[in-house]
Amino acid sequence: MFRHQYSFLLLGLLLLGSAGLSALGTSAAMAAEGSPQTLLQGSWLINEELSDDTDEAVEAAIIKAGGRVERRWFGRPEKGRYRGGPEEHELYDRISYDEVLRISYDAPEFWFGYEDGWQRIFHTDGRTRSIGASGFYENGGQDFSFGAWEGETLYVEGRPRDGGFTMETYTVEGNGSRLRVELTIKPANFGAAIEMVRIYDRQPG
């Protein structure tokens, strides 16, 4: 995803675990009557108007770390210009660029589905290393994540194979119709974390 060389910074997270009910809301009206675990489930589509621009967030982190960003004087910059790179950065790409997010929950296991069939499975029962993102890899490395509930917000920490980390919060708003995702993304070769907010609208079905 990110092609710049920066130093590694590790950020820890203390998570409090709790169990929840499992159910799938098929519409915002139905989901609004459920628990936070129920509300979070379903299919979500990015609202670009309300979300931060991922490319701009990446550039802000580059500048914060003392790097330089190439400016184009003619024409609009290509959207998604920082997407791509080594496969160990795919988790960063999926959570910050994919427009579709599907979520299901069968306590204590979460399933997050992204575009192109990419998936992520993790648990909220306190285990720190569980099933990784989209399986194992040839070099023996594996992405993994773990999460916990705090009130109505799901906190997730991701540990991609490059040695970096992600800090993520997922909160349903708008009477069950909208999902707010706050991301802190720190690839191992970045000198500063990428921070952004992504807003999703619930899709029927």
pLDDT in tens, the chain (205 residues): 544 333 322 223 333 333 333 333 334 444 446 899 999 999 999 999 999 999 999 999 999 999 998 876 555 668 899 998 889 999 999 999 999 999 999 999 999 999 999 999 999 998 765 545 554 444 446 889 999 999 999 999 999 999 999 999 999 999 999 999 999 999 999 999 999 999 999 999 7
What CATH topology corresponds to 28-203?
A: Lipocalin (2.40.128)
Q: Which residues contact 173 (CB under 8 A, 6 or more apart)?
A: 179, 180
User: What does the alpha-carbon distance between residue 94 and residue 174 come to, in Å, rounded to a whole number?
Assistant: 24
Q: Please give the pLDDT value at position 18.
A: 36
Domain positions in the chain are 28-203
Q: Please give the pLDDT value at position 10.
A: 27
Angle 29-30-33 from CA coordinates, rounded to 5°: 95
Encode the chain in three state secondary structure: CCCCCCCCCCCCCCCCCCCCCCCCCCCHHHHCCCCHHHHHCEEEEECCCCCCCHHHHHHHHHHHCCCCCCCCCCCCCCCCCCCCCCHHHHHHHHHHHCCEEEEEEECCEEEEECHHHCEEEEECCCCCCCCCECCCCCCCCCCEEEEEEECCEEEEEEECCCCCEEEEEEEEEHHHCEEEEEEEEECCCCCCCEEEEEEEEEECC
Q: Please give the pLDDT value at position 17.
A: 36
Of the candidates 50, 57, 100, 99, which has an alpha carbon nearest to the alpha carbon of residue 81?
57
Q: Please give the pLDDT value at position 127.
A: 75
Cis ω before 108 (30° cut-off from 0): yes
Which residues make beta-bridge pairs with 44? 101, 202
Predicted TM-score (pTM) of the model is: 0.79
